[in-house]
Amino acid sequence: MNTPATRVAVVTGGSRGIGRQVAERLAADGFAVVVNYVGNQAEAEAVVTAVTGAGGRAMAVRADVADEAAVATLFDAAEETFGGVDVVVHAAGVMRLSPVAELDLDDLDRMHRTNIRGTFVVDQQAARRVRGGGAIINFSSSVLGLALPGYAAYAATKGAVEAVTLVLARELRGRDVTVNAVAPGPTATALFLDGKDEETIARMAAQPPLERLGTPDDIAEVVAFLAGPGRWVNGQVIRANGGIV
């Protein structure tokens, strides 16, 4: 049963990796959570089961983040089921790595559609619907500062995410809604580990002064802060990377 005190979070890309950890962490903090997915229904439902099994409230909603009608329906579902939207965590994204000279432009277009258009579409709905005292949290990446070979197209999309984040924070003046981005460094998720040999993983783990890879929980802690007590942090990019840059 909903009460006026119910806080509601929409988490895109919430079916696995960092998005899943964020969804479960926000649920533990008392949020009703809408787990957005595009292709992994079983994994999204597993997140819902984990949340409800721990006494929380959650639902899974399919939506392509770049489809404005689908995203509007996602927000409608959050409002109809839980009464409103207080926090939006936009964690959905795709990554294709290639040197500039060899990049398949279809991969560039796909990253542009999901990472840039998707951020615009989700943030547009969030800007219209997030209640006062709420937060919009986008995801960038620390590769932007590292300038790693092979990451040009992906980093370019994340540069766009940061630009949208900083401008939107200023556009929402007077609304009591914060807008920030989290930029993880190397984090031990399936997306990061896929295709990397042990030597590469060990080298990247040794880069930060803390000498380890990040974990999804490390990133979820930052998101939980921005979604909750971090009300004086606004229009910022938080580089959660163990001190690499």
Q: What is the pLDDT of residue 5?
A: 59
Give the side-chain half-sphere CA count within 13 A for 218: 18
Q: What is the pLDDT of residue 1?
A: 42
- Annotated catalytic residues are 154
- Cα angle 163, 222, 40; round to 5: 80
Nearest-angstrom CA–CA distance, 178 and 134: 7
Domains annotated for the chain, with CATH where assigned, are: 8-238 (3.40.50.720)
Cα distances from 75 to residues 15, 34, 129, 162, in angstroms, run: 17, 9, 8, 23
Q: Which helix (H) or strand (E) segment is 12 a member of?
A: strand 8-12
Enter the pTM of the model. 0.94
End-to-end CA distance of the chain: 45
Side-chain half-sphere CA neighbours of 85 within 13 A: 28
Name every residue whose Cβ is closer than 8 Å to that of residue 3 and which is 6 or more positions away in sequence.
Answer: none
Question: What is the CB-side half-sphere exposure of residue 86 using CA atoms within 13 A?
Answer: 19
Q: pLDDT of the chain along its 245 residues, tens only?
A: 444 458 999 999 999 999 999 999 999 999 999 999 999 999 999 999 999 999 999 999 999 999 999 999 999 999 999 999 999 999 999 999 999 999 999 999 999 999 999 999 999 999 999 999 999 999 999 999 888 899 999 999 999 999 999 999 999 999 999 999 999 998 888 777 777 888 888 988 898 999 899 999 999 999 999 999 999 999 999 999 999 86
What angle do the packed helices 152-171 and 118-129 form, to 10 degrees? 20
**Residues pairing with 33 in the sheet:** 9, 58
Q: Which of 167, 78, 180, 192 is nearest to 125 (CA)?
A: 78
Give me 84's structure tokens. Answer: 């409103």
Which pLDDT does position 2 carry in this prediction? 46
